[in-house]
Amino acid sequence: FVALSMLWLSAFHFFARWIHWEGDEQNTLGAIWEYQFPTMILDMAVFFVVGRTPQVDTLEFVLVMMLGCIYTSYSYTWTFLDHSFTLYEMHCRWPVSLWLYALGIVLIGVALAVFHVRFAFHRKLLLSKLLEVTFVTLAVLGPNISSPYLHLHHWLAGWLVGMHLSFKTKWWSRVPQSWCWGLYINGIATYGRDPVLVCGYVDYLARDLHCGATSALELVGLIVEGDDPAANWRNCSASGYHP
């Protein structure tokens, strides 16, 4: 699982650069291996265990994973998708077309949820699955949910959702799980495994480890004296850093 994931991540990283798809130019393959791979190992372990051992040795898994990865980058060529999934972006900058696109994704998500709930109910697994989803989601997002820096990266979305699509006998569970893993791979191959709290986390590390700057946000010029580190997302005219 690890070997397959890293092999495809490396190949897609170079392919996306070659075809000039959107991505972070600072996110080199060397940086991924040096700074992000140890944490990715933990991601893969959790996904593998909670996801009930994804069937990575099948052609179905490989092809759907690759398709999900490629589609994600290709969709960046659609200009209306050029926005982040943050409170500020959603409240102030999302166009109607993006809201309609998001609605379509939500409807697909609801349909998948209904299929999974019905199947789990008939197999007497519903309570355990609900507890599992609740625990993992709260463990991952609970401590950060109120932070103005919260950014739901698509690597995180693919990882968090995909691990719970774990009914191996049903195609409507296997296929979305493979797609979600492709989404995870795409996020890291193109932008890196950025922290959930983005610059807020970087700022904390800079202060905690005494990296030579009073604030990482000040160091990179994201705020100036008198500004809030993170702008109030409810006020579209607010100054400061917009995650």
**Phi, psi dihedrals of residue 165, rounded to the nearest 5°:** -95, 80
Helix (H, G, I), strand (E, B) or coil at 241: strand
- Backbone phi, psi, residue 74, to 5°: -65, -35
Using CA atoms, how far apart are residues 81 and 72, in angstroms rounded to an integer? 11
Q: What is the DSSP letter of 172?
A: H
Name 211's Cβ contacts closer than 8 Å, sequence gap at least 6.
Answer: 205
Calculate the CA dihedral of residues 223, 226, 227, 229 and round it to 10 degrees: 70
Q: Which amino acid is at 126?
A: L
Domain residue spans of the chain: 2-196, 198-243
Pick the closest to residue 49 from 116, 1, 4 (CA basis).
1
Alpha-carbon distance 149 to 3, whole Å?
A: 33
pTM of the entire predicted model:
0.83
Residue-level pLDDT, tens digit, the chain, 243 residues: 899 999 999 999 999 999 999 888 889 999 999 999 999 999 999 999 998 876 778 899 999 999 999 999 998 888 888 777 777 778 787 888 889 999 999 999 999 999 999 999 999 999 999 999 999 999 999 888 878 788 889 999 999 999 999 998 899 999 999 999 999 999 999 999 988 888 778 777 777 777 765 555 555 554 433 344 566 667 676 665 555
C-alpha dihedral, 14 to 17 to 19 to 23, nearest 10°: 130
